[in-house]
Chains A and B, each alone.
Chain A
Amino acid sequence: MRPVYLDNNATTRVDPQVVAAMLPFFTEHFGNASSMHAFGAAVGGALKTARQQVQSLLGAEFDHEIIFTSGGTESDNTALLSALETQAGRDEIITTSVEHPAILSLCDHLEKSRGVKIHRIGVDSRGCLDIEAYRKALSSRTAIASVMWANNETGTVFPVETLAELAHEAGALFHTDAVQAVGKIPMTLAKTEIDMLSLSGHKLHAPKGIGALYVRRGVRLRPFVRGGHQERGRRAGTENIPAVVGLGKAAELAALSMNDEQTRVKALRDRLEAGILASVGNCMVTGDVDNRLPNTSNIAFECIEGEAILLLLNKEGIAASSGSACTSGSLEPSHVLRAMNIPYTAAHGAIRFSFSRENTEQDVEQVLAAVPGIIANLRAMSPFWQGDGQASADFNPTYA
């Protein structure tokens, strides 16, 4: 079975060019960047190059605005915790109900353990943020507002530049978890008011375990990991040089393929979506269809359950993911689909297809050949399926 990987929002394959760039830094240039000898010097140069490559992808003004971390989660934790410490007299955080657990779990914890007031701004049925509620939540108590650039499940893009301006009007910092957006959406941070941004290497064909936090020059930062003076004292610990070099190379490649991502990859996604909608009844595309990542499609199939769909897709060599309850071990559909009030029936059958520059037309053909049969098969087994066009009448979109 020819494998088709359409789960790139979960993780991506490391680009062979990235691996090639990394290899010398294991056995040849293995020095510690802090050392006062030639072994260290070679590594110091590579660190600087990688920083500039990431700076360039983000359109940041200075390379020292980039701090290398262990990944998106560490970057998110650093940003929020730092803001609470540096923003004197401000003890509230504004975020959204559809953030990644890297933000939401931390906020839950801060709320319980430190009594930090958390405002979780809701979204509408397309996944768009309630800007009015965001505006109202901002106050002189707000330490930081943190809103993802794009949602990992539906691909819906948030107006982070405007949200950053609104946060600044209230004197608050603004952070964005851009883990899904970096490399897929062109950005020029120097021209925005965004104070901090998190990114993760493994979402853009770099290895797992490496990421970065952008911190605008002039924004005060309290380190999350304390120890040595690495990263100008803002993130201690000997730099993971091979991974840093890999992230730099991946950033360079992402910049080069940005156009491809916006055109060819988007066309593949659109073709898959149109093909499924044309051949399968009673399904809906979730998220803000006109304003989302070019690589992501989240389709909710009515009257069937996501894990069963994934297992049958997997049998056909196709890798996708689901926001259904059963895949995660929880008993409810994902928090994102619940926040959007997707009807239960459809939410349980939501499947996410996420592309990368490595996907081809043949991939799309293979999925289009498999999906209608799988859906029909499961629906024939479902006690709720009444035949095309009829099931919707039974839907009860009342979410608790």
Chain B
Amino acid sequence: MKKGLGKYVLIRLVGAVPLLLVVAVIVFVLLQYAPGDPAELMLGMDATPENVAQMRVKMGLDKPLHVQLLRFLAGLLRGDLGTSWQSGRPVAEEIGRTLPVTAYVSFVAIVISSVVGVLVGVLSAVRQYSLVDNIVRVVVLAGVSMPVFWLGLMLIVVFSGFLGVLPSSGWGTPKHLVLPAVTLATYPLAMITRLTRSSMLEVIRQDYVRTARAKGLSMRAVIVHHALQNAFIPVVTVIGIQFGVLLAGAVLTESVFAIPGIGRLTVAAVFARDYPVIRASVVLTAAIFVLINLLVDISYTYLDPRIRYDN
């Protein structure tokens, strides 16, 4: 571990607590302004006004707002996320069930897109305006513009329908992972490729690269040790952001492939006005971004020795 890094991480983590509390308050307040009565929605149109009133008491919605808010924040600080109004199960259990699924798919997707994206991006930059570069640029444009929904369906049609080699939907075996991971990887892959290419193009024109080449170093050594390391900082930032976006849940992909992930959980909760689940999932997403940003910042110190956090 680098000097001062431990203290830096500690400060950042402690600093995240008030930030998350502010996020929690904001999401609480925003939900108060969301149209629709959770109790009424839960009971549907068969309910009488008395039924709805009874339900509101059961859900704690009859309490004054500040009491509801304080209960929520106090629970959060104790690590108690409450109980889902829809399923009646603890929110922690619901998230514990869905987050690992999303995390697994997202991790595989981000690994695919980072590895392939960086390699193709470098290749494309080094061979600027070559046939390879032109093909890459067209494919990247397609990748960025392709709706995941459509892509997912096309993959199902081809690999489950025509070829019959992969299951169309569901969760459980590694085979179930392939199509969703590839679908999810497409956009970040295109982004990472494009960014790696432009970042590399900038770096390989620098004097020190020319110097390195002039010293007689091989092209490969120059690219890997000199150029790539410097070009990598913006790329790592984007990888981090994309990973965070994937972890927050990709509802379209999860719906198309019927994966029990956190994206579907959250969206279902929004439609049902299941406040405890919405709040927990928003705070969790904020926490994930805090954590990923921290990891990205730490990675900078390894990529660029000039970046230090010890003062």
Partners in one complex: no
Q: Could you list which residues of chain B lie within 8 angstroms of chain A, going by C-beta atoms?
A: none
